[in-house]
Amino acid sequence: MSFSSLEQANQSGCSTCYESGLTYEYGFVYTGCCEDDPKCSPTEFYTCDASNKWTVEITDPEVCIMLATGLPIGEKCIPKKECHCEKPA
């Protein structure tokens, strides 16, 4: 995956649900190039910085040249471990 953008999010600040300096993952989609191994990967990474502001990094999933048909690549998925906090606005 490559990062396509970095921006400030939610200028109102981070809620008490989040810990400053930690990164929280959202926007999960299936990724991978192998028939037997699609992964549920995040595409959005939110970090609450020391000034109580959100920074978000958005990724572009890797592109597979020879992808088998019928794989759910790019479709939304639910990770095994989810953050208990709502995605920042």
Global pTM? 0.70
Quick check: is 79 in a domain?
A: no
| pLDDT tens digits, 27-79 | 999 887 777 777 888 999 998 888 888 888 998 877 676 666 677 778 898 88
Which structure tokens are listed for 73? 């690549």
Quick check: is 51 in a domain?
A: yes
What confidence score (pLDDT) does residue 23 get? 87
Quick check: is 67 in a domain?
A: no
Quick check: is 74 in a domain?
A: no
Q: Is the pLDDT of residue 3 over 60?
A: no
Quick check: is 44 in a domain?
A: yes
Quick check: is 53 in a domain?
A: yes
Instruction: Spell out the residues 6+ positions from residue 73 whose beta carbon is closer than 8 angstroms to its own.
Output: 29, 30, 31, 32, 38, 61, 64, 67
The more confident residue out of 57 and 4 is: 57
Enclosing domain of residue 36: 2-60
What's the total number of domains in the chain? 1
